[in-house]
Each structure stands twice: as C-alpha cells, then as structure tokens.
Amino acid sequence: MKFKLDKKDFENFLNDLLETHDLFAPVQLTEGVSVFKKIERPEEVNLNQLVPQKSAKEVFFPQSEVMFRFEMTKHQGSIVSKHQIERERVILGARPCDVEAISIIEKVFVGEDYTDLYFFEKRKETTIITLACNQPLTTCFCSSTGGGPFRREGSDIFMIDLGDSYRLELLTQKGKAFSKKRFFKEANSKDIELAKELEEKASHKTDRSIPLEGIEKRLDLMVESPFWDRIHEKCIGCGVCTFLCPTCHCFDITDEVVNLKGQRVRNWDSCLFPIYSLETSGHNPRPTGRERTRQRLMHKFNYYPKNFGKVACVGCGRCILFCPVQFDIREAIRYASAKRTQGMEGRPR
C-alpha cells in the first residue's frame, strides 16, 4: 500500500509519535539558524530550512556527551551511572545527504571487531524518516558524491513534500512498523505521479560536475605538492566547517573531576585546530594551516576512501555556506584536478 500524510494531520501525527518515541527534528533557534534537537512540542518542528546548520549526526554523536559518571576514594573508583537509551527514537526531516553521512560515520564507529556503544545503541534504536529535497540549493553537490536529492538508502521512511500532503514510502521493517499509524492514508495515483515529477525535476538541480572520480589516487601523488601552500591561505582555522560537517567525527575525551566525583565526557574536536595534533613533547606534526587543511581534505578524499571505498563527503554544502571566508571545497577539488593535468604533483611518500 502507498501512503501519504495530509499536512493538516501532521501535528497530530507528531503528538502521536511523542507518546511512544523520543523525536528529533530540525528546530529553528533564531532566524536562519536551525539545528536537530529533541522535540518537546510539535510546533517546534521546522522543516523549512533545507540545510540546518547542525546536521542529524548530533542525534547519534552529540557535540558533548557524558559517557559515565564516577566516584573515587583514595584507593579505588567506581562507575555510578552509565549512559542509557530509554525509549525508541525517531529522526524526522533529515535530508538524504545527512542520512548518507550517518552511514559514513557508522562505518567508523561500528566495525567488524569493535563497536562504539555510545553510537551503536542510539543508532539501533532509531527510525529515520527522511525528507526529500524538492529544491536543492546552489551549494548542494550530492549528485557528484554518489548521492542525490531523492536518495533513499539508509532511510526507514522516505517522505516527499507534495504541497498539501507528504507522500510516504515505508522502506524497511522499522519503517513498515509505522504502517498502522493513525493519520497515514492511502496515496492516490495523482500523489504518486506528482512525487515522480518532483523527483525528476530535483535530479537536474544538483551539481554533478565536481571531479571526484579518481581523487583518491590524485591525492596520493600530491602529498608534498605546492597545491597545499596555496589552498590553505584563506582559512582562518575557526573549525566551523568541521563542526558543521555531517561526516566529520573527530573527538576528544576528558575526565572532569571535583572532590573525587566526576564524569567522563566526549567532545567534538577538529583537525583544523593547532592543539589537535600537538604532542606532549611539544612537537606538532601539523604545525601550520597547510598541514591541517591537507589533513581535512586527505581524510575525506583519500584516507577514508582507502578504508571504506567511498569519499567521506556527501555534498551537503554546509562548509561552503557557513565558512566565514568562503573557502569552497568544490574549488579545492577542482583545483586539485587541474594541478594534476598541469604536472604540479608533489612527491609521493
């Protein structure tokens, strides 16, 4: 059965969801600034901003997360509380690029012989309801990175905005478990036709021209290239691009202790900060912006593909939209391609 949800029933649907699930969705904090956060009331949900500043990765990998609390005596310590998931969760309104980014991070946190429980437990308890992008932005290049504005992979339910209603595709067992939800109705042939038209139109609106094919091998030849001297010059090292990027996943762990009671906290970190790679000896293997910018791009387009077979960029455009000095990762990729043809490769190592 093909489903739809009338927008007039949307608030009731959300109220219904809130009774059984923790619901995460984009919320507008101030004008033009949206983030994914836990919803208390349906009216908080705001699906109007195509690319919220902070992505859905935060639902699984929060910017700051208490892993556990502990107490110590002079001779021993004990854990007094651990992180726990109490209810099933739903992410509503994640865009296809953010959903792909979750799977990119998942490969890092959940491997064949290791599991990051803090990520994994949230992931397995979460149903993802994705919202297709009818009107991609000029900064979107998901179609160049292997995605697309109607990419369904990774979604449990796929939602298409038809104007007065949402067309719903229940794609997985988790998604199909919603089929008995009140307010879901049968979609008619007109709804289905309109959804197809919107998909066709959107597929021509994202940039397919970013030359990512073979980038991993090109970068292999550019480790010491003069390319890096030029490319980092604009960057002021604020780290915004890495914090807002849905695939960046570096973190630091600290123990915060007062009077023998404390908590272990995991916080996002950024390879663009000088202190990130500073060693205890005082030596810093990435002492300048040149090495740090190289690390950011190499991780996305060389190291990650070597480990997992695809680039760690989903073309969401956040790093372009929100960089204070307009560093454009698309230009960096194009420039890297052009340098190769001009014979500017650096010495491989």
Q: Which residues bind ligand SF4 (CB under 6 A)?
A: 235-241, 245-247, 272, 300, 313-319, 323-325, 327, 329
- Give the integer Cα–Cα distance in Å for 116 and 227: 36
Query: By C-beta, is 23 or 333 nearer to ligand SF4?
Result: 333
**Partners of 321 in the beta sheet?**
none
* Nearer to ligand SF4 (CB atom), residue 77 or residue 287: 287
Q: How many CB atoms lie within 10 A of CB 150?
A: 19
CB of 233 to ligand SF4, least distance (A): 10
Q: Answer yes or no: are the C-beta atoms of 172 and 156 closer than 8 Å.
A: yes
Contact of 154 with 119, CB cutoff 8 Å:
no
- The CA–CA distances, whole Å, from 118 to 99, 121, 155 equal 18, 6, 21
Instruction: Decide whether 148 or 175 has the Cβ nearer to ligand SF4.
Output: 148
Shortest Å distance, C-beta 236 to ligand SF4: 4
Report the nearest approach of ligand SF4 to the CB of residue 326 (Å): 8
Helices and strands counted in the chain (H then E): 12, 12
Q: Least separation, in Å, of the C-beta of 251 and ligand SF4?
A: 16
Minimum CB distance to ligand SF4 smaller for 131 or for 323: 323
Is the CB of 26 or the CB of 315 nearer to ligand SF4?
315
Contacts of 181 (CB under 8 A, 6+ apart): 13, 16
Q: Are the C-beta atoms of residues 105 and 43 closer than 8 Å to each other?
A: no
Over the range 275-291, which residues count as b (16 or more CB within 10 Å of their CB) and which as e? ebeeeeeeeeebeebbb
Q: Report DSSP letters for 281-296, one per residue.
A: TS--SS-SHHHHHHHH
Beta strand spans in 20-73 (E)? 22-30, 33-38, 64-72
Q: How far is the CB of 18 from ligand SF4 (least distance, A)?
A: 30
CB of 100 to ligand SF4, least distance (A): 9
**Residues 293 and 272: beta-carbon distance below 8 Å:** yes
DSSP state of 139: T
Q: C-beta of 169: minimal distance to ligand SF4 in Å?
A: 24
Quote the least distance from Cβ 291 to ligand SF4, whole Å.
14
Least distance (Å) from ligand SF4 to the CB of residue 208? 14
Q: Which is nearer to ligand SF4, 67 or 238 (CB)?
A: 238
Query: Which residue in 84, 82, 62 sits closest to 267, CA to CA?
Result: 62
**Closest CB to ligand SF4 among 127 and 144?**
144
CB within 8 Å of 270: residues ≥ 6 apart:
239, 242, 243, 248, 250, 276
Task: Select 111 or 324, whichever has its Cβ closest to ligand SF4.
Answer: 324
Q: Give yes or no for a contact between 190 and 32, defined as CB atoms under 8 angstroms apart.
A: no
- Residues belonging to the chain: 349
Of 25 and 316, the one with the shorter C-beta distance to ligand SF4 is: 316
